Structure 1
């Protein structure tokens, strides 16, 4: 894939842990166009990381804007980004969108923490098209929430900021109970997504009207993770998946060519049929009923509760 050579035009601190980065083409040329919900993948120490593109409106121009929250106990991508300064060069993939807005249909936008970044562009696109929307932005307290003031200034009464430390804390049941026939877009940490999807499912909201993007490292090792085996049904090959590595990583190291994209468990492209064994689901794609059935899994993040999985690969 051809990558983009970018220069950091400006770094703007938003909170103690969140900074916004304005990026331009290193040759000062035009950057590829993109749609709301799109991201770029930036080369960082130890690999690459996906960051959603931000646009408040047509006046933002042709630069790219992203925001990164520093995670001191993370894998290092955010620390790399927070070490950048004006004038530094980086390399990134062209924009790609796995989290698009359904054109012309009213929406409720729900963001938690740094998950606000793709939601901003969605709100701007809906506003420009004259499509009704509500934006609910939740966080621990206003001082740690990037863009809270910018959102209220730009989108007015369409925005509600919910802070856990005061009476404005998010009431998921109320927000989803008032959804009606609108689409629900959710971006943020796993806890918010799981709770919102379960609430929507219990309320009878069709799955086709619930759209999610995860802003956690879903493939990170969890305390208590153990090695397990994956048998490839087509060849009989058996691979051992250790803690801290995904099924995709191990199988590709073993020479297999697999179809996947986000590697966060939210796009569904790597979904694979399970012939036998019990998956440990860690995605945000499957419904509670699909997880309980155990017939499919997302092999980029999910693991196994059984000693072996036999997969239809």
Structure 2
């Protein structure tokens, strides 16, 4: 279900981050959502963009407005720059809230780890954990103080639960962070791919199993230098498609008339996971373990490509 949302207010958090509040165009009540949920916006020719909903302590329930934050990426594909150009009264088309990054109902403490604009879903998680009286710690890392949004508000809302790390002053030390960690801890990580992979490796080394590590990637996939075209064969029909550089397998197969199931298109939700019958995938996701990637039998077709000339997929 999609609906029109009107921008109620715009606020600058940093030079690159703006918070937008949204209300329904017809004045109807906003549907409920859980911590970690996001909205998908249809930006027309710019495509679909997803932004996490931000809940703070003290927000009324149900909320009269929704809140998102957008970091401007001048080298991106134009979506964030478009969002930064919006003003109060402008209308956006969005789907109902969805959640690929839910906060689990577990007994152990929660460790929240945010990189840059990846802080947004973790604010909602901290709010939910704080309200429930559950044990948690939030570690937030950014390149510098000037680039860190929400710092004052986080300190006011969560006090000693929050620790800030700055790459140019006091960078995050993952080995120290995970030293002596409670084995019942559940880790929630949101940020760029490199940080997620490093945090996952450090958490595994500290004894946390993958089942207790949850993540969401806050990076739009970008073409890599050296990408070349490859073929995809559909096992059920024998159809063959060519995937050129700069386009995803999903985009090419959908253009060819295939009906596919997927969501994030960033390589972190696992919904598009597909079995590989022949060929060698070039894995670019954060879903599969190193062992699964080495085996080469599964891939996320939203972001991964091929090292071989052709892949045969179980579709």
**1:205-228: CA deviation from partner (whole Å, max 9, x where unpaired):** 21110001000012x211111001
Map of 2:220 onto structure 1: 217
Partners of 2:49 and 2:57 lie apart in 1 by: 25
Structure 2 SS opposite 1:191: helix
Q: Please list, as runs of the form range in 1=range in 2, the aligned pairs for 1:191-202 lying within 5 A after superposition.
A: 191-202=194-205
For the pair 1:152 / 2:155, whether they are aligned, the reply is: yes
Map of 2:56 onto structure 1: 56
Structure 2 SS opposite 1:213: strand
Map of 2:75 onto structure 1: 73
**1:88-137: CA deviation from partner (whole Å, max 9, x where unpaired):** 11111110001001124320000000000000000000111111000000
Partners of 1:19 and 1:178 lie apart in 2 by: 37
Map of 2:2 onto structure 1: 3
Partners of 1:248 and 1:23 lie apart in 2 by: 30
Partners of 1:122 and 1:149 lie apart in 2 by: 18
* Alpha carbons 2:196, 2:217 under 8 Å: kept: yes
Map of 2:135 onto structure 1: 132
Map of 1:92 onto structure 2: 94
Partners of 1:59 and 1:73 lie apart in 2 by: 34
TM-score normalised over the length of structure 1: 0.96
Structure 1 SS opposite 2:152: helix
Once structures 1 and 2 are overlaid, which stretch shifts more, 181-190 or 52-61? 52-61
Shift in Å, 1:238: 1.1
Partners of 1:13 and 1:59 lie apart in 2 by: 20
Structure 2 SS opposite 1:59: coil
* Alpha carbons 1:104, 1:129 under 8 Å: kept: no
Once structures 1 and 2 are overlaid, which stretch shifts more, 289-298 or 12-21? 289-298
Partners of 1:273 and 1:81 lie apart in 2 by: 36
Partners of 2:144 and 2:91 lie apart in 1 by: 33
Partners of 2:298 and 2:110 lie apart in 1 by: 29
Q: Please list, as runs of the form range in 1=range in 2, the aligned pairs for 1:162-201 lying within 5 A after superposition.
A: 162-166=165-169, 168-180=170-182, 181-201=184-204
Structure 2 SS opposite 1:143: coil
Map of 1:287 onto structure 2: 289
Map of 2:211 onto structure 1: 208
Partners of 1:291 and 1:156 lie apart in 2 by: 40
Query: Equivalent of 2:111, from 105, 108, 113?
Result: 108
Shift in Å, 1:197: 1.3
Partners of 2:21 and 2:32 lie apart in 1 by: 15
* Alpha carbons 1:108, 1:179 under 8 Å: kept: no
* Alpha carbons 1:104, 1:131 under 8 Å: kept: no
For the pair 1:117 / 2:116, whether they are aligned, the reply is: no
For the pair 1:27 / 2:30, whether they are aligned, the reply is: no
Unpaired segments of 5 or more residues in structure 2? none
Map of 1:273 onto structure 2: 275
Partners of 1:148 and 1:179 lie apart in 2 by: 25
Once structures 1 and 2 are overlaid, which stretch shifts more, 40-49 or 187-196? 40-49
